[in-house]
Amino acid sequence: MTERFLDGRQAFVTGGTSGIGLAIAQGLAAAGARVAINGLGDADAIGAAIESLRHAGAADARHWGADLRDAAAIEAMLAELQAWGRTDIVVNCAGMQFTGSIESMPRERWDAILAINLSAAFQTMQALLPSMAQRGYGRIINIASVHGLVASVQKAPYVASKFGLVGLTKVAALEYASAGSRDSGGVTANCICPGWVETPLIESQIQARAAQHGNDRAAGIADLLSEKQPSRRMSSTDDIAALSLFLCRREAHNINGASLPVDGAWTAQ
């Protein structure tokens, strides 16, 4: 059983209804936190996500469906969140991707990706960091990407947003580094930069590669990863959740302003 070191804490996870975000929210719940999530999904999917948080051990759980492209909607959500309780942990996990060359990239796609991947994170941090500093404990965990550290073709807005998120996180770390103490846990801001993570979103790609190898799933994954991820194995959503949970511990008070790759040595090349 996970140690309930987050009893009495409140966490907020964007992109928390599925994939990496939901796994992180479940980990926080198991550690005792009240957990608020924002994310997409129909009523059944959202209900299942909330139920999974309660089953994991959340002191309480709630969903907000604000559109993260809309600053006014985010502002209203954050006001309600703060009325619900003080937020000690923010995980900005919501993200959007669209591939295409710089030449062909529709401007509306650029605007939407920057809004969700970067501007929404800025807005949550701006609203919630000051009260964390007053209490002497707070955690900002931004789920960036290897594409916040290295670039790839056909991904201009995604790469720009993730490089921006890494930079924003470093600024927040510097501005709040002296808040709190070792005993209180301090206030930290860090990025996790995953490479390939096994989620339902990439299952079709796995299956396509597996079909080229006699329906051998492991061989298909290795082939898919062979170009960039030297380990040739994917991370799980639980791997990312475990790292996120460690960053919330008091002992992580001096891990601050870091961009932590979980990428099978992709960015070591």
Give the catalytic positions in this structure: 158
Residue identified by tokens 């170009």 is 227
Q: Which helix (H) or strand (E) holds 79?
A: helix 71-84
Tokens linked to 1: 């059983």
Q: Look at phi and psi of residue 143 and say left if phi exceeds 0, alpha if psi is from -120 to 50, else beta.
A: beta
Tokens representing 10 are 């409140």
DSSP letters along 175-217, please? HHTTSS-TTT-EEEEEEEEESSB--GGGHHHHHHHHHTTTT-H
3-state secondary structure at position 137? strand
- Please give the structure tokens belonging to residue 68: 């993260």
CA dist., res. 63 & res. 49, Å (int): 9
Residue 236 DSSP class: P
User: Reduced to 3 DSSP states, what percent helix, strand and coil does the chain have, rounded to the nearest 5?
Assistant: 50, 15, 35
How many Å apart are CA 208 and CA 219, to the nearest integer?
11
